[in-house]
């Protein structure tokens, strides 16, 4: 469940765990004044944790692929020696 951070008109700050379908808090539990939502890093961590997991899983496979082009560079030096001798 995501945690939302609120701040009321009297600068009371508090966090409330709510589901997405829950209605946003409207009054401060301490003083009863109007509150507004603060988008702090609490919400970002909840959203990012899911995406980062799938992203890091793709990394290991691409590392093994970079080893293939190494053999291609070797053949390039071999063809450079051939034309020199045909002149004679």
Which residues contact Zn ion by CB under 5 A? Answer: 8, 10, 12, 28, 30-31
**In the β-sheet with 35-38, what is the strand arrangement from edge to edge?**
13-17, 3-8, 35-38
Nearer to Zn ion, 32 or 48 (CB): 32
Token pair for 54: 């799938």
In whole angstroms, how close is the CB of 4 to Zn ion at the nearest point? 15
Pair type for strands 35-38 and 13-17: unpaired
In whole angstroms, how close is the CB of 2 to Zn ion at the nearest point? 22
In whole angstroms, how close is the CB of 11 to Zn ion at the nearest point? 7
CA distance 43 to 5: 9
Nearer to Zn ion, 33 or 47 (CB): 33
Nearer to Zn ion, 3 or 10 (CB): 10
CA distance 19 to 13: 19
């Amino acid at each position: 469940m995501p945690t939302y951070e609120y701040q009321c008109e009297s600068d009371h700050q508090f966090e409330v765990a709510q589901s997405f379908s829950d209605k946003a808090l409207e009054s401060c539990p301490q003083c009863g004044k109007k509150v507004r939502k603060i988008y702090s890093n609490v919400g970002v961590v909840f959203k990012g944790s899911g995406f980062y997991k799938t992203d890091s899983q793709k990394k290991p496979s691409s590392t093994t692929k970079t080893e293939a082009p190494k053999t291609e560079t070797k053949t390039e030096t071999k063809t450079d020696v051939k034309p020199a001798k045909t002149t004679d």
